[in-house]
Copies of this chain bind each other. A is one copy, B any other.
Amino acid sequence: MPEFKPPRPGEVAITLPPATDAGLVFIGRIRSPWPTPDDCPKNIRERNEIGIVEISEPYVQGLKDIERCSHVILLYWLDRSRRDLIVQSPSHAPEPRGVFALRSPVRPNPIGLAVVELLKVEGGTLTVRSVDCADGTPLIDVKPYFASIDSVPDARRP
């Protein structure tokens, strides 16, 4: 585990339980233009970069029919993130916010979520637009995007 900077004023760190409750398997990797988390864009909707999702064996068979989706949801493990900051002071916010009101990579379970356009499927490789995670980020799930349940165009946010 890398060493992390001390919390900023107003931030709150918690002690996470020593043991975990459930285990994940990594099913692939995401290739992106950003070598490290610090290089990643803060606002992915203004970006247009292409990402490559590499699915490992024996999970490739699970891609059957995925080319019929225009968009998919990627879940990935933010393996270089700390997990303990429950209240955070992002640079864009005037005061500290709770982690569950933020899309910060720092969270008790550092799972990233991105809705991406599926451009191409070749074997175990998906070409997508756009991802905001660092190159090599472990993949944990791919789900088809269903506008009927996933799209809320008029949702209100802070």
Measured CB to CB, the residues of A under 8 A from B are 12, 14-17, 19-27, 44-45, 55, 58-59, 61-66, 68-73, 75, 77, 79, 86-87, 96-103, 107-109, 111, 113-115, 138, 140-158
Contact = CB atoms under 8 A, between A and B. Distances in A.
Given A14-B61, A25-B109, A69-B155, 9 more contacts: A12-B61, A21-B24, A63-B100, A64-B101, A65-B98, A65-B101, A100-B143, A144-B157, A151-B152
Contact of A150 (B26, B115, B142, B146): B115
> How many of these chains are in the complex?
2
- Lowest 4 CB-CB distances: which A-B pairs, in order? A20-B23, A64-B98, A70-B156, A65-B101
A62 B97 CA distance: 8
A111 B141 contact: yes
